Chains A and B, each alone.
Chain A
Amino acid sequence: MGALKGSISFTKFKARGELPEGFRDTFIERLRLRAFRPLSPLEDAPQSVGWCSIENLLDLEIDHGKVYFETYLNIGLRIDTWVIPGSLFKAHFAEAEREHLAKKGREKLGRQEKEELKAVVTKRLRAQLMPVSKLIDLSWNLDTGAVRFWSQSARLHELLDEIFEDTFKLTLLPESPYTTAARLGLSELESNVFAELKPTAFHVAVF
């Protein structure tokens, strides 16, 4: 499912702000700086978010040919997350706890010890697992400023907001009844009227 093929389900935004001079090169440099970096089980980070080729989430070599489709900038947002099934973690933690207490000759772990042991078990399990990867397509019409993001999740929109602004130094304005009206052309007076609108009661039987 995405911009290039498959089912079309997206949320639309408008990129706000001027494109800088020579933006095609600048954007490639900035995309490379925020390219996806794989998670390491040795690090604490539970998630990694970054850009990759829209055609292949394993392709982290970003260049003009993979990104620019005439007036469109197409890029993939890759999100990897460590997901350890709860029951698996519980079982491994219980085992580690037993071993630790036996070694120390004690009956109960202290709070600090428990946290440390949790971190050790988490790292050990992460080393045996693959993170869960997600690729979300983004297609930006550089002429109109329309940005289509192939996800309707509010949580992912927050991630997008952050990385988009960090990468392109532009903000995203979500499509909504007000922003669409403003995009189509509201005068200041009309904008004020829109701001004062109250819901219409269509069900009231008054003809």
Chain B
Amino acid sequence: MNLADLIEKKRFVGREFLVWLWFESEILEGRLSTRGGKSCELFLESKITLVQEKEKSQLDGAVPASSPEAHEALRQGKMPTKAKLRVTRGEFEYSFVYAADTMALSTVKLPAVVREETDEQFYERMYLLEELEAQFDALYAEFAALRISALWDSEIVPMMRAWVHGKDVDLAVYRRTRGRVAPLGGGKSTHEEAEVDTDAPVVEARQVA
């Protein structure tokens, strides 16, 4: 499969990442952890769009992702394509709309920018934005490693299906399972980016499917 196909044909993974964020946010009461010291609070809020082929559900409200309608949409096989997220890391709070297929962020609200000079304001905006992206990268590194591991189908998906159907999830078992898979890049700072198409070292203890 060439690169263009990998980009186009694997866009569904972005939707699964959004389901996973939703799942973790609900079962872990918003407290998401990543290796490499990057942990945050993450909540889905005010807007979520779910689709299945041509059928679309757009839910608005205070916390629509927690509504029975949103879970019912998941049970019908709909997948989220867009959601408004709130991420808090230390004293920084962000809100933004995440588009799952392109992994694009829009209407990003940054923590208050205090500088007034144009140049200074730009550096501060970029710093805050790159911090958010690094956080999001760290979460995606955790998810993607799980997604390509043998544990995804055997352990993680059954727990996520239970959550979709309103059943209890054993948190201790989930945490233990998640901890068995090292994140992509070993949880290193995402500012140190690997080049696409190069062979990064195989992460220790990652068992691929």
Do A and B make up one complex?
yes
Given A144-B193, A190-B202, A200-B157, A180 and B103 touching (CB < 8 A)? yes
For B, the interface residue count at a CB cutoff of 8 angstroms equals 73
Q: Does B141 contact A (CB under 8 A)?
A: yes
Residues in chain B near residue A206, CB distance under 8 A: 158, 161
Q: Is the CB of A4 within 8 A of B184?
A: no
Mark interface residues in B55-96 (1 if CB within 8 Å of A CB, else 0).
000000000000000000011110100000000000000001
Q: Is the CB of B161 within 8 A of A202?
A: yes
Q: Is the CB of A16 within 8 A of B196?
A: yes
Contacts of A138-177 to chain B: CB distance below 8 A: 139, 141, 144-146, 148, 152, 173-177
Q: Does B144 contact A (CB under 8 A)?
A: yes
From B9-17, B25-33, B41-49, the one touching the partner chain is B9-17
Q: Does B165 contact A (CB under 8 A)?
A: yes
Given A8-B107, A185-B185, A188-B199, A174 and B148 touching (CB < 8 A)? no
Closest to B152 in A: A200
Mark interface residues in A4-15 (1 if CB within 8 Å of B CB, else 0).
110111111010
Q: Does B177 contact A (CB under 8 A)?
A: no
Residues in chain B near residue A199, CB distance under 8 A: 12, 16
Q: Does A186 contact B (CB under 8 A)?
A: yes
CA gap between A14 and B7 in the complex, in Å = 13
CA gap between A193 and B79 in the complex, in Å = 22
From A45-53, A68-76, A85-93, A127-135, the one touching the partner chain is A68-76
Q: Is the CB of A201 within 8 A of B165?
A: no
Q: Is the CB of B184 within 8 A of A175?
A: no
Size range of the chain A interface in the assembly: 35 or more
Contacts of B118-176 to chain A: CB distance below 8 A: 118-119, 121-123, 125-126, 129-130, 133, 137, 140-141, 144, 147-148, 152, 157-158, 160-162, 164-165, 167
Residues in chain B near residue A83, CB distance under 8 A: none
Partner of B202, one of A183, A189, A203: A189
Residues in chain A near residue B185, CB distance under 8 A: 184-185
Q: Can you sample 9 A-B contacts with CB below 8 Å?
A: A9-B104, A176-B103, A178-B10, A179-B196, A180-B103, A180-B137, A185-B186, A185-B203, A199-B12
